[in-house]
């Protein structure tokens, strides 16, 4: 058990000796050598064990010897400085044997370092500082280790850092700036990019000569670009300028780095400066044109969605596209905290916004998707501190659920403070599941399929409603949001967090568990007006009708008239259990399943008039306006005349399509055509762009 504020844990009576530690470690290393390419698991944080990242500089902490570490204790206000005396054993983290200035040895486990960090493989001989270390038992009685969960709690010290105690000091390994630069070049050629960055940094520290510094900055910029450390690459590129005509390279690299950060406006400025100095350079021209295309998408929302879909492959789900966000803005919400709002009127079906994922790993394996997103979030926050602003600002649960120090994302001791428990809370509260492309999996009966998990910062500001005015879909890592009804400027935009369950208490249980809220949408508020006895009755009738329907599935067999009559009877009872004053203008979700079943059963028997009857009920029960054969109506009116409490789903599209088929069979061609047009508009809301309704059958 961890020591609390009131209890002080004891210093362990005995610990493993250095000899024993090294011997066991070497045995582990031997095993590792025999399977060098084993995949590295991700150690995902357990939120109930959360503790904050150190927000202090190592220079503010009291440095203590390893022998003073207490078991199961977070040593607040303290730090240790140790030399790594073994190669690392690399698994979910990197485990090494370390030694302090007094000759005490211990085990150090460093987790959550990205491959781009030199600390992901903690080189033997380096000296590190662990801030506010967490010391814990490792199973056996005298087996302990320092466990570093937060990546910013461990700092690689430069060899010349005066904080290193005399006994651990090696002095600089290499003498001159030129030596370090050459070492960097060698590491670069060997593709050891983190070491190359380290060596170029030492080279830059060792020389003040601008004619040496400029090309070294250029080298480090290029290496950081390869590592995806775009903030650092941009800073290095700009630092490499000399004021001469060769600066085109600095602007070019800076432009590429800004592009990597999806800051296309800045990228455009830098690339334009590069072009000015070197107008005929084909690489700059190409990057500049690419940047212009992104700016065009951001400004207009013009995308070639079919081409984007066609470009997806198992290796490529990250689309090189800009985000179109200008129809929306973040502002305070009457429902909860911040929300997303319309900045202009939008028509049903129109693009509300299109957002490129802030972070989405190409990992659709259900068992790995969450861990992969978590690992990517940690890596990117370490590698590109400018991301911290938008990502760490996201909602992470009610105040007090997880205390922030306020230092998260700020640079302390040269690295951004990254709190992995906060990252995990933000992930669970804000991430979306995304299929490779929504259109590939829309058949109403299709199983959910493989989904990646991703973070879309802009979309994350949207609150939930069970009867939302927008619908999201995906093509690769692009989230497409479309209006499901006409939206007025200034209106709050809502989305469904998860598919809503028919029973009000069941679905709200999910919202409470996942996000800590009770929904106050028109449907939930309305349904809660039903007396408890009626809620119970509906629950029972729903269970009974589902049981009956599940016995025979209309897609597979011809349903006997007697069974249809039984389902119809129960559906009628269920319908009667909806009070007209409560359900005026809101969906009756418990009726969807039996009505869909009845549509399919009657389709199987070619009872077209009955198909029309029950498909219209499906529309009604999703809260939509129901067209009338005897009146003049426009297909868009399905979405525009339905009030503000309809629930758009692929079942609505399927119902409209079934209606169209049945009307056609009955000789009502005009109704059939209008229903098809309405279905096509609805299918665009569901899939994100215009798609052939026939893909519904795949
Ligand atoms: C992804 S965030 C949405 C943005 C959030 N409102 C903010 O202030 O940043 C999800 C959180 O918003 C809140 N939320 C979302 N929809 C809500 C609703 N309909 N009613 C109350 N709270 C809601 C919940 O606390 C949920 O955990």
Residue 171 has pLDDT above 80, yes or no: no
Q: Which residues contact 290 (CB under 8 A, 6 or more apart)?
A: 259, 320
Shared domain for 296 and 310, answered yes or no, is: no
Residue whose CB lies within 8 A of the most ligand 1 atoms, among 332, 339, 394, 395, for a mutation test = 395
Q: How far apart are CA 369 and CA 44, in angstroms?
A: 12
Q: Which atom of ligand 1 is nearest to the CA of 398?
A: 25
517 lines ligand 1 (CB under 6 A): yes
Contact status, residue 424 vs residue 378, Cβ threshold 8 Å? no
Shared domain for 549 and 682, answered yes or no, is: yes
* 105 within a domain of the structure (yes/no): yes
5 compared with 321, residue with greater pLDDT: 321
DSSP symbols for 478-526 = EEEEEESS-B-TTPEEEE-SSPPPSSHHHHHHHHHHHHS----SHHHHH
Quote the mean pLDDT of the chain. 94
| Per-residue pLDDT tens over the stretch 214-260 | 999 999 999 999 999 999 999 999 999 999 999 999 999 999 999 99
For range 128-152, the mean pLDDT: 93
Beta-bridge mates of residue 565: none
Identify the burial level of 111 via C-beta atoms within 10 angstroms of its C-beta, where 0-12 means exposed, 13-18 middle and 19 or more buried. Answer: buried
Residue whose CB lies within 8 A of the most ligand 1 atoms, among 337, 338, 460, for a mutation test = 337
Distance in Å, CA 570 to ligand 1 centroid? 37
Q: How far is CA 267 from CA 222, 273, 304, 321, 477, in A?
A: 16, 10, 23, 14, 21
Give me the pLDDT at residue 2, please: 47
Q: How far apart are CA 358 and CA 430, in angstroms?
A: 12
Contact status, residue 146 vs residue 80, Cβ threshold 8 Å? yes
Distance in Å, CA 400 to ligand 1 centroid? 16
21 lines ligand 1 (CB under 6 A): no
Shared domain for 77 and 95, answered yes or no, is: yes
74 three-class SS: strand
Q: How far apart are CA 658 and CA 258, in angstroms?
A: 50
* 211 within a domain of the structure (yes/no): yes
Strands 463-464 and 492-495: parallel
Q: How far apart are CA 115 and CA 315, in angstroms?
A: 20
410 lines ligand 1 (CB under 6 A): no
Contact status, residue 494 vs residue 469, Cβ threshold 8 Å? yes
Residue that terminates a domain, selected from 238, 272, 300 = 300
Shared domain for 147 and 228, answered yes or no, is: no
Q: How far apart are CA 602 and CA 232, in angstroms?
A: 64
Could you tell me the two tokens for 439? 């259109």
∠ CA(447), CA(448), CA(450), 5° rounding? 115
664 lines ligand 1 (CB under 6 A): no
520 lines ligand 1 (CB under 6 A): yes
Could you tell me the two tokens for 283? 């690489």
CA-wise closest residue to 482 among 229, 243, 688, 247: 688
Q: What is the 3-state secondary structure (H, E, C) of 421-483?
A: HHHHHHHHHHCEEEECEHHHHCCCCCCCCCEEEEECCCHHHCEECCCCCEEEEEECCEEEEEE
Query: Residue 369 sits in a domain of what CATH number?
Result: 3.90.1410.10
Which residue has tokens 């070491």?
195
| Per-residue pLDDT tens over the stretch 55-93 | 999 999 999 999 999 999 999 999 999 999 999 998 889
429 lines ligand 1 (CB under 6 A): yes
Taking phi first (over 0 means left), then psi (-120 to 50 degrees means alpha), and beta for anything else, what does residue 207 get? beta
Residue 100 has pLDDT above 90, yes or no: yes
144 compared with 14, residue with greater pLDDT: 144
* 11 within a domain of the structure (yes/no): no
Query: Residue 571 sits in a domain of what CATH number?
Result: 1.25.40.10
Contact status, residue 49 vs residue 106, Cβ threshold 8 Å? no
Q: How far apart are CA 304 and CA 13, in angstroms?
A: 68
464 lines ligand 1 (CB under 6 A): yes
Shared domain for 450 and 489, answered yes or no, is: yes
| Per-residue pLDDT tens over the stretch 520-578 | 999 999 999 999 999 999 999 999 999 999 998 898 789 999 999 999 999 999 999 99
53 three-class SS: coil
Which residue has tokens 């430069």?
158
Give me the pLDDT at residue 7, please: 53
CA end-to-end span of the chain: 54
Complex prediction ipTM: 1.00
Q: How far is CA 620 from CA 1, 115, 470, 615, 686, in A?
A: 57, 54, 19, 9, 19
Query: Residue 67 sits in a domain of what CATH number?
Result: 2.40.50.140
CA-wise closest residue to 27 among 83, 97, 80, 82: 97
Contact status, residue 42 vs residue 92, Cβ threshold 8 Å? yes
Distance in Å, CA 650 to ligand 1 centroid? 25
| Per-residue pLDDT tens over the stretch 453-511 | 999 999 999 999 999 999 999 999 999 999 999 999 999 999 999 999 999 999 999 99
481 lines ligand 1 (CB under 6 A): no
DSSP symbols for 629-675 = TTS---TTHHHHSSTT-----HHHHHHHHHHHHHHHHTT-HHHHHHH
Could you tell me the two tokens for 529? 């007006």
Shared domain for 561 and 631, answered yes or no, is: yes
* 94 within a domain of the structure (yes/no): yes
* 46 within a domain of the structure (yes/no): yes
Contact status, residue 323 vs residue 357, Cβ threshold 8 Å? no
Give me the pLDDT at residue 8, please: 66
CA-wise closest residue to 319 among 436, 466, 195: 436
82 three-class SS: strand
What range does the domain containing 442 cover?
Answer: 306-515
> How many domains is the chain partitioned into structurally?
4
Residue 297 has pLDDT above 70, yes or no: yes
For range 653-661, the mean pLDDT: 98
Q: What is the 3-state secondary structure (H, E, C) of 287-319?
A: HHHHHHHHHHHHHHCCCCHHHHHHCCECCECCC
Shared domain for 604 and 675, answered yes or no, is: yes
Residue that terminates a domain, selected from 300, 316, 336 = 300
Distance in Å, CA 442 to ligand 1 centroid? 27
Q: How far apart are CA 320 and CA 259, in angstroms?
A: 10
For range 636-663, the mean pLDDT: 97
Strands 134-137 and 127-131: unpaired
Closest CA to ligand 1's atom 14: 463
Shared domain for 462 and 365, answered yes or no, is: yes
56 compared with 398, residue with greater pLDDT: 56
For range 109-136, the mean pLDDT: 92
Distance in Å, CA 336 to ligand 1 centroid? 5
Residue that terminates a domain, selected from 265, 284, 300 = 300
Shared domain for 295 and 312, answered yes or no, is: no
Distance in Å, CA 517 to ligand 1 centroid? 7
CA-wise closest residue to 143 among 13, 268, 267, 34: 13
Give me the pLDDT at residue 384, please: 96
Beta-bridge mates of residue 131: 79
How many Cβ atoms from other residues are within 10 Å of residue 670's Cβ?
9
Distance in Å, CA 463 to ligand 1 centroid? 5
How many Cβ atoms from other residues are within 10 Å of residue 360's Cβ?
26
Give me the pLDDT at residue 32, please: 78
Distance in Å, CA 667 to ligand 1 centroid? 49
Q: How far is CA 487 from CA 66, 442, 519, in A?
A: 63, 25, 21
Q: Where are the alpha helices (DSSP H) in 240-281?
A: 248-260, 264-277
Contact status, residue 137 vs residue 71, Cβ threshold 8 Å? yes
Q: Which atom of ligand 1 is nearest to the CA of 521?
A: 19
Shared domain for 443 and 539, answered yes or no, is: no
Give me the pLDDT at residue 4, please: 47
522 lines ligand 1 (CB under 6 A): no
Give me the pLDDT at residue 6, please: 44
* 13 within a domain of the structure (yes/no): no
How many Cβ atoms from other residues are within 10 Å of residue 228's Cβ?
16
Give me the pLDDT at residue 213, please: 97
Q: How far apart are CA 620 and CA 625, in angstroms?
A: 6
For range 610-623, the mean pLDDT: 98
* 216 within a domain of the structure (yes/no): yes
Helices 592-604 and 561-576, packing angle to 10 deg:
160
Could you tell me the two tokens for 621? 């029960």
Q: How far apart are CA 471 and CA 468, in angstroms?
A: 7
Q: How far is CA 149 from CA 48, 54, 127, 135, in A?
A: 14, 11, 18, 11
Give me the pLDDT at residue 3, please: 47
Shared domain for 296 and 391, answered yes or no, is: no
Q: How far apart are CA 487 and CA 493, in angstroms?
A: 8
| Per-residue pLDDT tens over the stretch 255-296 | 999 999 999 999 999 999 999 999 999 999 999 999 999 999
Maximum distance among all alpha carbons in the chain?
A: 95
Distance in Å, CA 1 to ligand 1 centroid? 34
Residue 400 has pLDDT above 80, yes or no: no
* 4 within a domain of the structure (yes/no): no
| Per-residue pLDDT tens over the stretch 342-380 | 999 999 999 999 999 999 999 999 999 999 999 999 999
179 compared with 123, residue with greater pLDDT: 179
Q: How far apart are CA 694 and CA 698, in angstroms?
A: 7
Shared domain for 85 and 49, answered yes or no, is: yes
């Amino acid at each position: 058990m961890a020591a609390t504020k009131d209890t002080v844990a004891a210093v362990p009576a005995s610990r493993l000796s250095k000899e024993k530690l090294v011997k066991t470690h070497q045995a582990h290393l031997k095993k590792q050598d025999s399977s060098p390419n084993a995949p590295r698991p991700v150690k995902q944080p357990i939120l109930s064990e959360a503790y904050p990242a150190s927000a202090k500089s190592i220079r503010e902490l009291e440095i203590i010897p390893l022998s003073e570490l207490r078991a199961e204790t977070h040593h607040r206000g303290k730090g240790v400085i140790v030399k790594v005396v073994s190669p690392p054993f690399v698994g979910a983290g990197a485990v090494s044997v370390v030694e302090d200035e007094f000759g005490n040895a211990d085990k150090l486990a460093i987790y959550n370092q990205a491959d781009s960090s030199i600390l992901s493989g903690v080189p033997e001989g380096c000296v590190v500082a662990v801030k506010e270390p967490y010391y814990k038992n490792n199973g056996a009685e005298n087996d302990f280790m320092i466990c570093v969960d937060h990546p910013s709690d461990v700092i690689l010290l430069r060899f010349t850092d005066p904080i290193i105690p005399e006994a651990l000091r090696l002095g600089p390994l290499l003498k001159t700036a030129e030596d370090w630069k050459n070492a960097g070049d060698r590491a670069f050629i060997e593709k050891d990019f983190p070491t190359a960055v380290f060596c170029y940094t030492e080279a830059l520290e060792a020389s003040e000569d601008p004619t040496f510094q400029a090309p070294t900055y250029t080298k480090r910029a290029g290496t950081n670009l390869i590592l995806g450390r775009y903030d650092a690459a941009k800073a290095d590129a700009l630092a490499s300028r000399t004021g001469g005509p060769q600066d085109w390279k600095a602007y070019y690299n800076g432009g590429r780095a800004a592009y990597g950060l999806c800051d296309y406006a800045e990228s455009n400025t830098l690339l334009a400066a590069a072009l000015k100095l070197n107008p005929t350079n084909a690489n700059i021209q190409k990057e500049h044109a690419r940047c212009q295309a992104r700016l065009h998408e951001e400004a207009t929302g013009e995308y070639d969605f079919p081409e984007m879909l066609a470009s997806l492959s198992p290796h490529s789900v990250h689309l090189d596209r800009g985000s179109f966000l200008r129809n929306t803005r973040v502002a305070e919400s009457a429902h909860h905290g911040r929300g997303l709002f319309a900045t202009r009127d939008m028509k049903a079906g129109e693009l509300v916004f299109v957002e490129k994922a802030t972070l989405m790993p190409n990992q659709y394996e259900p068992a790995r998707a969450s861990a992969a997103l978590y690992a990517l979030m940690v890596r990117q926050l370490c590698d590109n501190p400018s991301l911290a602003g938008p990502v760490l600002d996201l909602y992470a649960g009610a105040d007090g659920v997880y205390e922030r120090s306020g230092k998260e994302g700020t640079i302390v001791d040269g690295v951004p403070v990254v709190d992995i428990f906060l990252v995990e809370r933000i992930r669970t509260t804000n991430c979306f599941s995304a299929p490779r492309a929504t259109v590939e999996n829309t058949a109403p009966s299709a199983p959910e399929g493989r989904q990646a998990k991703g973070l879309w910062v802009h979309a994350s500001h949207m609150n939930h409603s069970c009867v939302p005015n927008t619908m999201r879909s995906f093509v690769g890592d692009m989230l497409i949001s479309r209006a499901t009804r006409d939206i007025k400027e200034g209106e709050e935009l809502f989305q469904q967090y998860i598919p809503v369950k028919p029973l009000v208490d069941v679905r709200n249980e999910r919202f409470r568990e996942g996000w800590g809220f009770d929904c106050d949408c028109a449907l939930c508020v309305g349904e809660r007006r039903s007396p408890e006895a009626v809620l119970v009755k509906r629950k029972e009738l729903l269970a009974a009708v589902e049981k009956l329907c599940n016995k025979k599935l209309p897609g597979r067999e011809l349903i006997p008239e007697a069974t249809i009559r039984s389902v119809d009877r129960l559906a009628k009872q269920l319908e009667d259990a909806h009070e007209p004053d409560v359900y005026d203008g809101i969906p009756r979700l418990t009726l969807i399943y039996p009505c869909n079943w009845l549509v399919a059963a009657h389709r199987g028997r070619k009872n077209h008039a009955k198909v029309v009857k029950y498909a219209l009920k499906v529309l009604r029960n999703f809260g939509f306006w129901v067209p009338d054969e005897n009146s003049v109506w426009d297909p868009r009116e399905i979405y525009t005349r339905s009030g503000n409490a309809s629930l758009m789903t692929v079942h609505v599209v399927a119902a409209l399509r079934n209606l169209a088929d049945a009307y056609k069979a009955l000789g009502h061609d005009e109704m059939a055509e209008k229903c098809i047009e309405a279905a096509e508009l609805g299918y665009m809301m569901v899939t994100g762009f215009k798609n052939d309704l026939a893909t519904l059958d795949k």
